[in-house]
Chains A and B, each alone.
Chain A
Amino acid sequence: MNVLIPLRTIIFKEIVRFVRIWPQTLLPPAITTALYFLIFGELIGSRIGTVDGASYMNYIVPGVILMSVISHSYANVVSSFYSTKFQRNIEELLVAPVPNWVILAGYISGGVIRGLLVGFVVALISLLFAHIEIHNYLIALSIAFLTSVLFALAGFINAILAESFDDISIIPNFVLTPLSYLGGVFFSVDMLPNLWQTLSKCNPILYMVNTFRYGLIGVSDVNIELAYMITGCSTVLLISVCLIMLHKGVGIKN
């Protein structure tokens, strides 16, 4: 069997799903981030001045874009795969000769496409407020892609383990959002007291946000090679966990 056909089917189904509900998936980030740029960037940012040599507006744009990529990559996979479990149409895939890696790749691709599409929409909105000359396209695009894959995988694991709709909102609300806000989206870790600086270095999102910021405006609080290593290793680890769970049928088979 040509596995590209089921892979394409899952990806296309995922795209149709989030485009069909665009007022829930694509519109809110455009409005929310426009407000971020207006309030934090324009109104408060003008009083802050510069951070690491960049205007505050330019400083927060990369973080806001990546924060949107993270939350939407995660949200797409966790809600879609959990709904598939909840409505039991996961059985359509389990009955068919679809390899586990194709199921994983299909859902992750859906999450990555939505995450990057939302990131693109937020980047377009940012053009209304900021003027950024991209420092390094390769770094910006590669870290955005890797981050999107990583959080789509995390969303997949959440969906597999979730037993109720409450379970799919706990991690985004109580883990992902705090880590994103504390991940240097709106500030440089150098602004924090020593203890908080040390604690922030344990937050993986800090590395991704700063690497993306480096790609866009050439400013970073972290070592770029280390950031790629953390993101890459975490991605490989989560792919392995997802495949083991699918193989064992955790959460989807009796």
Chain B
Amino acid sequence: MNALSIRNLRKIYNNGFEALKGINLDVDQGDFFALLGPNGAGKSTAIGIISSLVNSTSGSVNIFGHDLHKDREQAKSCLGVVPQEINFNQFDTVKAIVFNQAGYYGIPRKQALERTEICLKQMDLWDKRDTVSRRLSGGMKRRVMIARAMVHEPKLLILDEPTAGVDIEIRRSMWKMMQTLNDNGTTIILTTHYLEEAESLCRNIAIIDQGNIVEHSDMVSLLARLHVDHFVLDLSQPLQTTPVISGYQIEQVSDKVLNVLVPKEIGLNALFNQLSSLNIRVVSLKNKTNRLEQLFLNLIDSTSEGVN
């Protein structure tokens, strides 16, 4: 069964801007799915419609087989949303925020208290349960929103840039937490600008640009489409001239740093052999860009060219 099924979804805002141009999207049950796109591409509008925060112009949204318009209550009960920006009452305590949300989903008081405790403990927030939320750090506020979204045990969880603006330590702990939720059966849709995050966590991916889905496939086959890797080489000795090696595109960034485009069919061995023969010693190398980032940019660039 599809956790999410979107058909011909369109959104035209009052100012005439067409944010979604009839998109179709399917997300399998149990998937960890990345929804990517540049700013203004239509991601937030799509998530807004799925979350009932934005009215669609036309099209349908099904959540675990329940139509969002016709079977509103069932569809919404399956869904939890962690928005991009803090959207809880900053004067409420952590416990009240999560407990009230359980009430909005019709969970009886005793059960709501139990669920609140479980979710706050999962998010490592139980010690902060009586703290007024505005006194929390940014990372804690995000975890409050995740606890709130999980309190009714949704089968589908949408995380809209959950790690934006948090430090690397919190980001790593949130990745672990998301992975655990997914391992326990929750379908997750993640939007993020950290493509490394999407690449390491997600199994399937859709890229949205200018209101259209420009890519919809699994992560492995998408990454396999990248024919060239971009490496940065640090050298032990300064170079006077840029080396020329057949099959590779080399650019000298500074006297001891080279950028090299490495075609996958040739690989790195031949490059190192050639550099050794030229008495150039490589101290270290790293990928200049994340692989998914490169693909993402290629796709977005090709869409822009098509439009222009």
User: A-side binding surface: helix, strand, loop or mixed?
Assistant: helix
A75 to B73 Cα, complex, angstroms: 31
A3 to B148 Cα, complex, angstroms: 19
**Chain B's nearest CB lies how many Å from the CB of A71?**
23
Contact B54 A95 (CB under 8 A): no
Contact A96 B55 (CB under 8 A): no
Partner of B77 from A1, A92, A93 at Cβ < 8 Å: A1
Q: How many residues of B contact A (CB 8 A)?
A: 34
When distances are taken between beta carbons in the complex, the residues of chain A under 8 Å from B148 are 92
When distances are taken between beta carbons in the complex, the residues of chain B under 8 Å from A96 are 76, 101, 104-105, 152
A132 to B105 Cα, complex, angstroms: 47
Contact A97 B88 (CB under 8 A): no
**Chain B's nearest CB lies how many Å from the CB of A80?**
10
A1-55 interface with B by 8 A CB criterion: 1-3, 5-6, 8-10, 13, 16, 20
Tell me whether B38 is interfacial, beta carbon within 8 Å: no
Q: How many residues of A contact B (CB 8 A)?
A: 28
Tell me whether A88 is interfacial, beta carbon within 8 Å: yes
Contact B101 A1 (CB under 8 A): no
**Chain A's nearest CB lies how many Å from the CB of B102?**
8
Tell me whether B106 is interfacial, beta carbon within 8 Å: yes
When distances are taken between beta carbons in the complex, the residues of chain B under 8 Å from A95 are 51-53, 76, 79, 81
**Chain B's nearest CB lies how many Å from the CB of A164?**
19
When distances are taken between beta carbons in the complex, the residues of chain B under 8 Å from A240 are none
Contact B89 A84 (CB under 8 A): yes
Partner of B89 from A3, A8, A89 at Cβ < 8 Å: A89
Binding site for A on B (CB under 8 A): 13, 45, 48, 51-55, 72-74, 76-77, 79, 81, 83, 85, 87-91, 96, 100-101, 103-109, 148, 152
What are the 3 A-B residue pairs with the smallest beta carbon separation, nearest first? A9-B103, A1-B106, A96-B104
- Can you show 9 pairs from A to B with CB atoms below 8 A apart? A1-B105, A5-B106, A6-B104, A9-B100, A89-B87, A89-B88, A91-B51, A254-B48, A254-B53
